[in-house]
């Protein structure tokens, strides 16, 4: 059954992720960055939720989908990086080979860090989630690893935000990956689906709203305290609160633009927004407005709008191709 409220939340998350990648200026921009950190975890939770009870055929189909997207997106961004090198006069064999060093490939395999663009880690992590889940379904033990949820999230907060607060931060690669972000949120969504099917949801909407507002306040404060992290305690509260609220009110936002965006456009928005960002930033630099405060505030809004319109065009084109 379609959940319109999930789609609304996904639409909000998609524009929030644009803010993360584009960075609004000033402390306000930093707080908005912290606030938007619920976005990617929400997508993993929704995927885990809708994987509950699915057979191996469905999981295999999702693996093929994300594998195709993984290869397509990495191929396009590889070509995009080569084009950038060529325009700047730096296209050499050494520059190309730097993408495929043993260290780079190791990080790609272990931590989903694409050598072509960092945001593509999401595709690798989601692919790992479905592969892992398919294996667990075959072994009939997918519900035996729920204990990893708090362990992985605690490790994420300690190694990411915790060490940053103590001034001993480590690379984001070690927390922003399948192991400490994708897996726990995927499993959390799956666990909620199990509890909903077996016992029903016995939670008040007011509690969900309280978690969202508490999480929002914590996220902005944690951002200022830590100087920046991939995940905050507040992000966990926000993600869980929004997720549960959507389950309690599945028809909220039905027919709205955000619900449409969340259902149809979010993946394309996520994948191609950095191409829009690069083109916008280069044009602004050439026009001499790159450092202007007005441009810095307007640019994220522009990138979000154009990314959405591009996603709509790609969805429309795909729909037309299927009809033909």
pLDDT tens-digit readout, 36-80: 999 999 999 999 999 999 999 999 999 999 999 999 999 999 999
- The tokens for 195 are 């509890």
Note the helical H segments in 23-174. Answer: 26-35, 39-49, 56-87, 93-97, 102-111, 121-139, 148-157, 163-165
What whole-number distance in Å separates Cα of residue 12 and Cα of residue 18?
A: 10
What is the model's pLDDT at position 184? Answer: 98
Residue 320: the pLDDT is 61
pLDDT at 321: 56
CA 91: distance to chain centroid? Answer: 31
- At 28 the pLDDT is 83
Which regions of the chain are under pLDDT 70?
320-324
Would you call 261 helix, strand, or coil by DSSP?
helix
Tracing tokens 């509690």 back to the chain, one arrives at 207
CA–CA distance, 50 with 286 (Å, rounded to integer): 46
| pLDDT at residue 270 in the model | 97
The pLDDT, as a whole number, for residue 169 is 85
pLDDT in tens, 111-162: 999 999 999 999 999 999 999 999 999 998 988 999 999 999 999 999 999 9
């Amino acid at each position: 059954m379609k959940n319109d409220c999930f789609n609304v939340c996904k639409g909000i998350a998609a524009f929030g992720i644009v803010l993360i990648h584009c960075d609004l200026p000033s402390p306000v921009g930093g707080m908005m960055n912290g606030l938007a950190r619920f976005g990617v975890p929400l997508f993993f939770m929704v995927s885990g939720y809708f994987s509950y009870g699915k057979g191996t055929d469905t999981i295999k189909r999702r693996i093929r989908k994300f594998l195709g997207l993984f290869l397509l997106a990495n191929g396009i961004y590889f070509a995009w990086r080569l084009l950038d090198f060529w325009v700047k006069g730096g296209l050499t064999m050494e520059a190309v080979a730097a993408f495929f060093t043993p260290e780079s490939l190791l990080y790609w395999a272990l931590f989903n860090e694409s050598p072509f663009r960092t945001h593509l880690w999401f595709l690798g992590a989601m692919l790992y989630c479905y592969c892992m889940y398919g294996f667990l379904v075959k072994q009939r033990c997918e519900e035996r690893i729920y204990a990893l949820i708090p362990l992985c999230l605690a490790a994420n907060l300690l190694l990411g935000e915790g060490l940053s607060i103590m001034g001993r931060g480590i690379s984001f690669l070690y927390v922003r990956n399948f192991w400490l972000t994708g897996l726990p949120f995927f499993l959390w969504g799956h666990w909620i689906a199990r509890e909903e099917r077996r016992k029903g949801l016995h939670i008040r909407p007011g509690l969900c709203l309280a978690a969202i507002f508490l999480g929002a306040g914590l996220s902005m404060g944690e951002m200022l305290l830590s100087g920046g992290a991939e995940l905050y305690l507040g992000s966990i509260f926000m993600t869980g609160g929004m997720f549960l609220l959507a389950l309690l009110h599945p028809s909220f936002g039905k027919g709205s633009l955000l619900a449409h965006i969340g259902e149809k456009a979010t993946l394309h928005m996520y994948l191609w927004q950095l191409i829009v960002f690069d083109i916008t930033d280069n044009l602004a630099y050439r026009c001499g407005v790159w450092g202007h405060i007005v441009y810095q505030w307007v640019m994220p809004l522009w990138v979000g709008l154009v990314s959405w319109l591009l996603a709509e065009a790609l969805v429309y084109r795909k729909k037309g191709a299927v009809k033909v």
